[in-house]
Structure 1
Amino acid sequence: MIDLIIFDCDGVLVDSEILAAQMTSATLSSIGLTMSTDEVLASLVGHDAMTVRRKLEDRHGVALPTDFEADLAVRLDDAFTTRLQPIAGVPELLLGLDRPYCVASNSGHDRLRRTFATTGLTPLVEGRVFSADDVARGKPAPDLFLHAARAMGGVPADRCLVIEDSVTGVTAARAAGMRVIGFCGGSHILPGHDQRLLALGAYRILTDHSQLAALPGLSAGLAATATAGA
């Protein structure tokens, strides 16, 4: 039985990861460092800002400027304001759910507020958004998912279903003892990504939110499907 559905945000609810990768590549280029959009997608998707900084510094062997994140944030805000869209079918999916749901994202609360305001999703997620800002350790640690489940009424981990697009997110969900579906419907997904998510413990892959909505009524059918994949 599933009592709570937990959605990641970037790459699951909004098609933001490709924009974030493009802006990260551009920001690096502005300080003389080279990293393609595909390289960013392959190594940085799903991580919080502190982890991204550490990975970039390790890769390039230099300390990033102290204003790197601020510069990136300006570029992201511009890209999000002009180009960010919800993943197809998200509003209809959220409106049609017959059980509690929430969002658990490694993005900060400020960015999440802007993301949902820009895409018109705020009314559908307000009061049920959790961020890596809320816990000591973001994904791939299980802390954020466990925090969200507690805040949403103390739902046991084995009665939660997570929808995730990243290696980091699937790892965190499984570490939390939660079932997880790998979502590969964003424009940032590279070939072979579905197999990586399955290998990490996602019990099935979906490429369109209509496939999730089609699990019979997101009620008894969803519960039975998730149980079968545990």
Structure 2
Amino acid sequence: MIIFDCNGVLVDSERIATAVASEELMQAGFGLTPEVIAHYFTGRRPTDMYQAIEQAAGRNLPADFIGRVTAATLRRFRQELRATSHVATALSWLRGPKCVASSSPIDRIRTSLDTTDLLRFFDPYLFSASDVRNGKPAPDLFIYVAQKMSVEPRDCIVVEDSPVGVAAANAAGMTVVGFAGGSHAQGKLAGQLTSAGARTVIADMRLLKGTISALRGW
């Protein structure tokens, strides 16, 4: 079983998502730049991010804030979102079961994959951290996916682009391939993914099939 994160792995979404979140936070009186959001919250559930921001600021976000961010993000995704370079080819090459496990809500996952014509590779096997108690870096989502897909964690390979995602998959007992090829990736990301527990790191989806074959010992 190959489990893919969505944002920053299948779709090049991180710059759009952090820009939207920053704009809405600024309008609500919370001065967080896209860079700050990316640094502290990449790979985490939006609800966990909002809770952390409220705790740090000592005040609540507006009651309609989550709805506004969700609507603005989906609108921008439909207009601007692109698949990660070469990912459709990589998915076509990979044989066997595949699924998506993301910190995003399920509507954002589905919109992201539908907009970029990647939904056909995974539907209906889409899983959101909204369905588990603890988000990444806790292993809850990946353990949940293994149970739902009737596979052992040790038989799963996860493709992740964030240190918290790598840590979550590693804690679940899965093998992790780090991906550092998104437009948001910084020079230090590969090292951060390795430090978090990635077995290997790639920056080009054309290397994915060979990497997975090597990990499986084929």
For structure 1, which runs of at least 5 residues remain unmatched after alignment?
Answer: 226-230
- Post-superposition offset of 1:200: 1.2
2:199 matches 1:206:
no
Structure-1 separation of matches of 2:180 and 2:19: 19
**Deviates further, 55-64 or 18-27:** 55-64
Find out whether 1:224 has 2:207 as its counterpart.
Answer: no
Taking only aligned residues, the RMSD between alpha carbons, in angstroms, comes to: 1.5
Alignment-derived partner of residue 161 in structure 1? 157
Distance 1:211 1:96 in 2: 11
Residue 110 of structure 2 corresponds to 113
Shift of 1:86: 0.6
Distance in 2 (alpha carbons) for counterparts of 1:190 and 1:23: 20
Matching residue of 1:228: none
Structure 1 segments of 4 or more deviating over 4 A? none
TM-score, length of structure 2 as denominator length: 0.94
2:157/2:177 contact within 8 Å kept: yes
Partner of 2:23: 26
Counterparts of 2:134 and 2:63, CA distance in 1: 22
What is the TM-score normalised by the length of structure 1? 0.89
Amino acid aligned to 2:35:
D
How high is the sequence identity, in percent, across the aligned residues?
38
Aligned mates of 1:167, 1:212 — CA distance in 2: 19
Between the aligned partners of 1:45 and 1:121, the Cα distance in structure 2 is 22
Q: Kindly indicate whether residue 40 of structure 2 is the aligned counterpart of residue 43 of structure 1.
A: yes
Q: Partners of 1:59 and 1:17 in 2: how far apart?
A: 23
1:136 Cα offset (Å)? 2.3
Aligned partner of 1:170 among 151, 154, 166: 166
3-state SS of the aligned residue for 1:104? strand
CA distance in 2, matches of 1:133, 1:22: 22
Q: Per-residue CA shift, 1:159-188, capped at 9, x if unaligned?
A: 111100112211110110111111111111
Q: What residue identity is the alignment partner of 2:198?
A: A
In structure 2, what residue type is equivalent to 1:224? G
Q: What secondary structure sits across from 1:214 in the alignment?
A: helix
